[in-house]
Chain A
Amino acid sequence: MTAQEQFTQWVRGDVTPLLKGRGFTRSGQIFRAPRGENRMLIAFQKSVKSSADHVVFTATLGVWSHRVAQLDRPGEMNQQPSIDQCHWTRRRGELLSEQPDHWWTLTGTVRDAQVTQDVAQLLTERALPLLSQRSSDEELRDVRLTGNAPGLTEFQRLMYLSSLLRSVGPAPALGPVLDELRKETAGTPLNSIAKAHISRLMSPGKHECTAT
């Protein structure tokens, strides 16, 4: 059995039972669980440094917002979003030490039991509580409002935040964020993207704010 096959078997045999008990379903190496209409994701991603002898991998957490997706790209709604489609993500390393890249290595030896233990501990003690905490639109909005958005540029933060404010309010906060977005992008190619985004947000028929 190659290391790649062992990795697949490890995900099925060791990780799936742990996450299935928490409401997640598996598709390949991605686990998804609903929270209302939103989706919580845990994706195990292999590094290009993997070989036939060993698999180097990491885990990324994600939250996908149904309302933001519906607002931004209604023609591309997908109830099985990928990690790239998520509106909030965290790498394994960011959960541990604020370092973006931390990797595990599976080699097909007895030492792999330690990897399983590390993964289980990370999932139960850090990842699952954080996902649960971040998976509502209101929580996604609040974390963006603080300006604390690791891994995102200011442009991306303002784009997501404005979509969230349009979806869940509070409505009075939207105008200042759109002004900030215009100011941030003025004089740059991003200005056209921001204008198209604002036009889409403000067009009739879009979700109205439901919270205050």
Chain B
Amino acid sequence: MNAPRREDLVGVWKTDPTDSKGIREMGFATLEFGHDGKLLYTVHGRDTDQVSVLTYKVEDGGWLVTDQPSAPKLERTRTTITDDGKLQLEFGGTPTRYIRAT
């Protein structure tokens, strides 16, 4: 497990289809980390997608700090890159894994 730097996150990540607990509790999601510090977090619902437009930065130790300009609230999320290259986030207390899509 490694603490990622910002450049490690940039790109598109999708829910790891083998992460059954993460899928059950958090649903299928796509994270798009931009070079410009923007993060699009999309949860794919059965009928519609729910999108949060956030800003992000990465602090020492792999802490992902997000904010939403339209409803400001700093959120710190523990983030690691697993030994097999997956992104693990602990949103809301549940570790969820993502695989790189681009």
Interface, chain A (partner B; CB < 8 A) = 72-73, 76, 84-85, 152-153, 155-156, 159, 186-193, 195-197, 199-200, 203
Question: Is chain A's binding surface mostly helix, strand, loop or mixed?
Answer: helix
Do B52 and A192 touch across chains, with their CB atoms under 8 A apart?
yes
List the one stretch of B6-14, B21-29, B80-88 in contact with chain A. Answer: B21-29
Do B24 and A191 touch across chains, with their CB atoms under 8 A apart?
no
A150 CB to closest chain B CB (Å) equals 12
Complex interface: chain B residues within 8 A of A187 (CB):
67-68, 70-73, 75
The answer for the CA separation of A200 and B91 in the assembled complex, in Å, is 20
Do B94 and A156 touch across chains, with their CB atoms under 8 A apart?
yes
Given contacts A186-B71, A187-B75, 7 further A-B contacts (CB under 8 A): A84-B21, A85-B21, A156-B25, A186-B73, A189-B52, A190-B91, A199-B47
Q: Which residue of B24, B45, B51, B75 contacts A188 across the interface (Cβ within 8 Å)? A: B75
Do A76 and B66 touch across chains, with their CB atoms under 8 A apart?
no
Complex interface: chain A residues within 8 A of B44 (CB):
196
Q: A187-B67, A203-B47 are in contact. Are A193 and B92 (CB under 8 A)?
A: yes
Q: Nearest chain-A residue to B44 (Cβ)? A: A196
Instruction: Report the contact-size class of chain B (Cβ under 8 Å from the partner).
Output: 20 to 34
The answer for the CA separation of A153 and B92 in the assembled complex, in Å, is 6
Complex interface: chain A residues within 8 A of B67 (CB):
187
Do B25 and A159 touch across chains, with their CB atoms under 8 A apart?
yes
The answer for the CA separation of A77 and B77 in the assembled complex, in Å, is 30
**Chain B CB within 10 Å, residue with most, of A190, A200, A203:** A190
Complex interface: chain B residues within 8 A of A195 (CB):
43, 50
Do A196 and B43 touch across chains, with their CB atoms under 8 A apart?
yes
Do A191 and B52 touch across chains, with their CB atoms under 8 A apart?
yes
Complex interface: chain B residues within 8 A of A186 (CB):
68, 71, 73
A98 CB to closest chain B CB (Å) equals 19
Complex interface: chain A residues within 8 A of B25 (CB):
156, 159
Complex interface: chain B residues within 8 A of A73 (CB):
23-24
B91 CB to closest chain A CB (Å) equals 6
Do A72 and B24 touch across chains, with their CB atoms under 8 A apart?
yes
Considering the complex, which residues of chain B in the window 21-42 have a beta carbon less than 8 Å from any beta carbon of chain A? 21, 23-27, 29, 39, 41-42
A162 CB to closest chain B CB (Å) equals 13
**Chain A CB within 10 Å, residue with most, of B24, B45, B92:** B92
A134 CB to closest chain B CB (Å) equals 20
